[in-house]
Structure 1
Amino acid sequence: MTRAGPRDRPTWLVVVLVAIAYTVGAQLAFVVFDATSIVVLFLPSGVTLSALLLCPARQWPWILLTVAVAEVTVDVSHGLHLASALGFALANTAEPLVGAVLLRRFVPGRLDLTQRRHLLAFLGCCVVAGPLVGALVGGTTIAIGQDRAWVEAFLPFWAGDATGALTVAGTVLAWRHRPPPGAAPAARWALAVLLTVAVTAVSFWPQHLPLFYLPIPLLFWFGFQQRLAITMTAGLAMTVTANIMTSVGYGPWAALQGPIAFKTATLQLFLAVAVVGACLLTVGVAERDSARSDTYAERAARQRVAAVQSLTAQLARAPTSAAIAAAVAEGRLLGELCVVALADPEDGLVHTAEHRALARAARTGRPALDGDPANGRIELGVPVTDHDGPVLGALGFEFAAGSVVDDDTIAFAQTLADLTAQALRRARLYEREVSAARQLQQALLPAYATGLPSVQVDAGYRPADLTHDVGGDWYDVFHLPGDRIGFAVGDVVGHDLAAAAAMARLQAILRVLAQSAPGPAEVLAGLDEASALIHGARMCTVGYADYQPRTRQLRYACAGHPPPLLVTAGHGEYLWDGRSMPVAVEPNSRRDAELVVPADSHLIWYTDGLVERRYESMYAGLDRLAATAGAVVREGAGDPCRTLLDRMAHTGPATDDRVVLWISFNPDR
């Protein structure tokens, strides 16, 4: 198949060629094959299919319109009613269109029938599926217009169109990918056609002597000796000759008793199966010959190239030094065993005593061989160096006794070592970055106050970016004047270093505001003003509460943040009061709410990443959280926060950070 391009034939030329070829084929169906009695071999189905597969999609409407006009014209000229002609036009345009569309889906590039997968796709889409669609329409048209049983109309229509698509389109496509024949190829082609026509005519001459199978050995001989184009051409010649002989009264199918639909369908199927078998044999023999023509060295070279490409792809995906070492060792690209030793990050030495050649290569920085090639195993070691700098590690390979470890083998081993070195340099930079980011995030998250009266606090944080542990979600617990306790949870837009920096500044300002503000509403109002000075803090959400242990009074407010969950006696209830818009959204009236916390209850405050899922409402996530938290309380989990995070984990990659602040109110503390 081809796509539109500068070498496409002009549309007017395509239309003319299709009109001529289709009309000639349709006339053959009427004049030679007697299509007025029942549908027989229909060569134009292959004409239309070939045109669609060889032309760009922008020319398809013109091709199909040309086919429809030609079909109606020929049908009406032979005495068919206009309604029947229109039905056949629909069948003979829908059929190749379905086949071509399906084939382009399964073989999106250039079609080459000499490849087994392409040939099978062509047979399935264009010889089976497409004609089935055409037969559904055409068989129905015949059944209605000629008062025939639907099955008697459907089977020969499908068989005739399928055989026409197979032989005509198969021949055109097979020759399409061959160079123009010179004198010798043209002579072979002509001889194959003449020989096939002669053998088929002779074998289909007698009616009661079973010789009709004689063309099959000839086709299979072509399959062993010739290219697919020759085999396809011979199959087309056999199919046309057999149908002509049958239509004029010769051969076993002409004398066969029973409905004409049965005779027509079985003849086309017999011919189609013979052609398909010969084509599959041709492709199989070509594949065998191609495999035999490869030398052992060429196969080994291709295998090594493929192995290196595969290893390169694995190394590109491996994020850490350990993952890189595992990919190289498990690849088994050379020898019977591969050992990877990496330099210690502390002292830079490669510690190994099990592989002598590997140890020597790491120590000297040069390839090393060890062992007796004749009587024992051979060890090869190659260093993994950083641009002629420090040794990052070494690779060790083991070979069976009698193996030849030549210069090419050593060079390939060194290539593997160089690939490993490139990956290790990248991995070590990544590991240093991950370590720095993790330390930064842990430094930014507060160490919440301990020894708080009448409460137990547990907190958990899981970023969306698991590789860096960096995000904009945060929590805080701290002392307030008057023996009160402050709780805060916030969510800054983003999950990167910028979000983490904005989070740290916002959290620090909230702590300062909470020391003097009379209540949560005033704390949030102060954040509105302060956020103007913090890049990235606008539109963040914050939940803040203060708690007085003596009176068990909890005052809380939410600036666009999900409501806190209060779990009492294993039953969860969301606190929906005290809500207002996110930080720095104007105008914004802040308000708070209060309640007396029941004994032995739990307050769970979280960020929206815990409950939000794609393609699911927020309320479904809230219901899931309430049920899960209630179960965790009833079970008395020793680490409730971690348990909750595990059970609320996403089934796929997380898209947002998740924070959980779990406060247990215990009057005995």
Structure 2
Amino acid sequence: MSLSEPANGGLRSDSPSGSERPRPLWLILALVVVTYGTGASLAFLGFGAQSIVVLFLPAGVTLSALLLSPRRRWPWILLAAAATEVAVDLSHGLSPRWVWGFALANTAEPLVGALLLRRYVPAKVNLLRRRDLLAFLVCCVGAGPVVGGLIGATTLALSAGLPVPRSFLSFWAGDAAGVLTVGGCVLAWRHGAGRPVVARAALAAGLAAAATVIGFWPPQVPLFYLPIPVLFWLAFSQPLTVALTAGAATTVTANLMTSAGHGPWAALNTSDQVITLTLQVFLTTTILGAWALAVGVAERDRARWDTSVERAARLRLNALQILTADLAQAATSTSIAEAIVREGVGLLADYSSASVVSPAEDELAVWTAAGRRDDLAERNRRIPLDAATPHTDAVRTGRAVVHQTPADLAAAYPRLADGYRTLGVGSIVCVPIRTADGAPLGALAFGFQREHGVDSDVITFAETLANLSAQALRRAQIYERELDAAHQLQQALLPALSGGLVGIRVSADYRPADVAHQVGGDWYDVFPVPGGRIGFAVGDVVGHSLAAAAAMARLQSALRVIAQTAPDPARVLDEFDRASVLIADSRMATVGFADYDPATGLLRYACAGHLPPLLVTEGGAEYLWEGRSLPIGLGQRQRQQGERLMPHGAALVWYTDGLVERHGQPVTEVMRRLADAAGRCGEREPEGLCRHLLRHGAGAQVLGDDTVILCIQFTGAPYPTVATAAGDLPAGD
């Protein structure tokens, strides 16, 4: 009995339930008449003299028919058994005067056994459960044959003058052996075991009969014990149905061999009653020993099965808790799908995959469990919704897709058959992920190496995971729409660097700290100002949220307007300071503004609380510390500015504090390293310099603050402007 088949021992015997349609009464009665008559005739012809019944198999036939039928049919079954008993007795020459006594004995006996058993086991009888087995032995093998033996012995005493005690022992032993042999087998086979078990039972019966013939053939050589190891081996290694069938074959063969004069019991010089009693006791003890061993093995396997089920349940619960936590933290559809396939294998199956409907609702994006060589999934990373796959079928139909064998899979998905064979997939289930109103979001697929690996528990658990995934995916879709809208908003707020500015080339990049919204308060701007000059600014509004972005947009617009009339950067910041009072959330903002005259190469600059710009020339890099003042909104009356002639080809780097602020590190030290990196770069072309400094300062790490970097190269000639859109720069380049 294997752990994968715990139900082998779960055989039961009961009257038909409401969900099981009973067989027609005429068929039951016909079976009783045929089997009862055959067994009764065999008792007369093969097992002993006319007056002594050694083994009475029909006792088990009648009892089985009663236990497997509704009580309303019991009178008909008993009447059929009695009529058959009378017919067989009369056909073998018994007096019509006494056959009714034997008929009464052989109907009262199964009736008493069935009534008593139903009293203690009213519903299902499991012959591998100790309580049920004990009740069967006491009520059906013990009490019932005692009643039958008393009636039969009394009838024999009156009809043939035989002593009641000796007749009773013979009668009781023969009937008890018949009930144990036939009744046990019929009850065990009641619910069927499939063709493989039937074939094994036939082979086991043949092996047991052969061992019994060999053991009973020589009358003087003590080999009669040979069936014992055979039965015990079968009880240890096979289902109960196989062991009991072999026990029945042993019992019938032993009685036939004894009746034919073979075996140690045939050589005994004693009465037929003693021979009957001792032979049946030996056979009954052997069968009960094998039966007890089968019960012990079944209990062991059941305990192992329960332990494995409990352990699997604990693992699933733990994995489900981990998955729930991962889904709660996952912000995007990709992270949700990866969490599902990562934990889904441990939860349920040998393989797992998850798919998500694309925003255009015309294809599925598919993820498979990490660490598995899933060539099939690699070839189907994105699949059209009209393709034939388990995922697309589940999404289109809204129902679970189940295939239990490789043949089913190949028939349903011929294009995928080779991939399934390569992976060794024997069965799959794919369940849809849908919102509460039925909108499709995707699907979950779980594959098993074994065939018929999908049962009701698997489907229920998969649907539970789908429901969890639906909630997370719905949240992710809302977030992703907001993220896309915020990204577009940020791009709209940041300026488009126009071309045609004389004497400079410029590049810029923006990286928000709030990756959940892609917006913040840092900004940059480059624009022409009167007098042929070029103005450029870098600013930082406190915070990195939508409110900061809104304040940033207003400040940027105000600065552009003020720069058109103010004569120099210091006056620009003075006017800008007064205008900021009217802009919400602008207090403590920092701004750096400069103007550049391409005709003279003069750069004028002023910093309102902002970090100094970094000038990069052939000789190295230095910070421009002149023209510094307090941040916007602190009431400073007059601001200062600095001036510097820009060498041809020099570059100016202006940035926000996100580029140089690091937890646990002094800003001055980080700024020094930034200047060293810029001086060693050897690159003053703005795109390359911008990339280099971002890689040095930020790399792929999550930033603690929004970051803007603006690189201007002073060419002294009318070069076209080169602009890098925010977000286009690879983080790890």
Structure 1 residue 417 displacement after superposition: 0.9
Secondary structure at the aligned position of 1:314 is classed as helix
**Structure 2 residue aligned with 1:372:** 405
Q: Does 1:403 align with 2:415?
A: no
Corresponding residue to 1:592 among 641, 646, 654? 641
Alignment deviations for residues 71-119 of structure 1 (CA, whole Å, 9 cap, x no partner): xxxxxxxxxxxxxxxxxxxxxxxxxxxxxxxxxxxxxxxxxxxxxxxxx
**Structure 2 residue aligned with 1:414:** 463
Corresponding residue to 1:318 among 330, 351, 358? 330
Contact 2:614 2:654 in 1 (8 A): yes
**Structure 2 residue aligned with 1:477:** 526
**Structure 2 residue aligned with 1:330:** 342
Alignment deviations for residues 50-80 of structure 1 (CA, whole Å, 9 cap, x no partner): xxxxxxxxxxxxxxxxxxxxxxxxxxxxxxx
Contact 1:561 1:582 in 2 (8 A): yes
**Structure 1 residue aligned with 2:63:** none
Spell out the pairing of 1:486-497 with structure 2 (5 A cutoff): 486-497=535-546
How far apart, CA to CA, are the structure 2 residues paired with 1:353 and 1:370?
A: 20
**Structure 1 residue aligned with 2:696:** 647
Secondary structure at the aligned position of 1:402 is classed as coil
Structure 1 residue 491 displacement after superposition: 0.7
Contact 1:366 1:382 in 2 (8 A): yes
Question: Which residue identity is paired with 2:678?
Answer: A
Contact 2:444 2:466 in 1 (8 A): yes
Alignment deviations for residues 154-173 of structure 1 (CA, whole Å, 9 cap, x no partner): xxxxxxxxxxxxxxxxxxxx
Contact 1:463 1:470 in 2 (8 A): yes
Q: Percent identity?
A: 52
What TM-score, normalized by structure 2, do the two folds share? 0.49
**Structure 2 residue aligned with 1:444:** 493
Contact 1:604 1:661 in 2 (8 A): yes
Contact 2:502 2:717 in 1 (8 A): no
Secondary structure at the aligned position of 1:542 is classed as strand
Alignment deviations for residues 20-64 of structure 1 (CA, whole Å, 9 cap, x no partner): xxxxxxxxxxxxxxxxxxxxxxxxxxxxxxxxxxxxxxxxxxxxx
**Structure 2 residue aligned with 1:309:** 321
Q: Does 1:295 align with 2:329?
A: no
Contact 1:449 1:479 in 2 (8 A): no
**Structure 1 residue aligned with 2:93:** none
**Structure 2 residue aligned with 1:339:** 353
395-404 or 406-415, which deviates more: 395-404
Cα RMSD (Å): 2.3
Question: Which residue identity is paired with 2:480?
Answer: E
Q: Does 1:358 align with 2:407?
A: no
How far apart, CA to CA, are the structure 2 residues paired with 1:584 and 1:534?
A: 10
How far apart, CA to CA, are the structure 2 residues paired with 1:635 and 1:452?
A: 18
Structure 1 residue 317 displacement after superposition: 2.2
Secondary structure at the aligned position of 1:298 is classed as helix
Spell out the pairing of 1:548-563 with structure 2 (5 A cutoff): 548-563=597-612
Contact 2:655 2:710 in 1 (8 A): yes
Structure 1 residue 358 displacement after superposition: 3.3
How far apart, CA to CA, are the structure 2 residues paired with 1:554 and 1:608?
A: 22
How far apart, CA to CA, are the structure 1 residues paired with 2:404 and 2:660?
A: 62
How far apart, CA to CA, are the structure 2 residues paired with 1:513 and 1:548?
A: 18
Structure 1 residue 503 displacement after superposition: 0.5
**Structure 1 residue aligned with 2:214:** none
Structure 1 residue 311 displacement after superposition: 1.4
**Structure 2 residue aligned with 1:569:** 618
How far apart, CA to CA, are the structure 2 residues paired with 1:323 and 1:430?
A: 13
**Structure 2 residue aligned with 1:435:** 484
Q: How many residues align?
A: 379
Contact 1:356 1:370 in 2 (8 A): no
How far apart, CA to CA, are the structure 1 residues paired with 2:685 and 2:579?
A: 41
Question: Which residue identity is paired with 2:584?
Answer: H
Q: Which runs of 5+ in 2 are unaligned?
A: 1-302, 365-383, 410-425, 719-733
Q: Does 1:463 align with 2:512?
A: yes
How far apart, CA to CA, are the structure 1 residues paired with 2:392 and 2:518?
A: 37
Structure 1 residue 642 displacement after superposition: 2.1
Contact 1:355 1:379 in 2 (8 A): no
Question: Which residue identity is paired with 1:295?
Answer: T
Contact 1:375 1:401 in 2 (8 A): no
Question: Which residue identity is paired with 2:452?
Answer: S
Q: Does 1:521 align with 2:533?
A: no
Alignment deviations for residues 208-236 of structure 1 (CA, whole Å, 9 cap, x no partner): xxxxxxxxxxxxxxxxxxxxxxxxxxxxx
**Structure 2 residue aligned with 1:661:** 710
Q: Does 1:385 align with 2:399?
A: no
Contact 2:428 2:454 in 1 (8 A): no
Question: Which residue identity is paired with 1:329?
Answer: V
Secondary structure at the aligned position of 2:392 is classed as helix
**Structure 1 residue aligned with 2:653:** 604
How far apart, CA to CA, are the structure 2 residues paired with 1:321 and 1:633?
A: 42
How far apart, CA to CA, are the structure 2 residues paired with 1:423 and 1:391?
A: 14
How far apart, CA to CA, are the structure 1 residues paired with 2:363 and 2:683?
A: 53
Spell out the pairing of 1:149-298 with structure 2 (5 A cutoff): 295-298=307-310
Contact 2:404 2:454 in 1 (8 A): no
Question: Which residue identity is paired with 1:540?
Answer: A
Question: Which residue identity is paired with 1:563?
Answer: P
**Structure 2 residue aligned with 1:5:** none
Alignment deviations for residues 364-398 of structure 1 (CA, whole Å, 9 cap, x no partner): 11112124389972221211110142111111222
Question: Which residue identity is paired with 2:351?
Answer: L
Q: Which runs of 5+ in 1 are unaligned?
A: 1-290
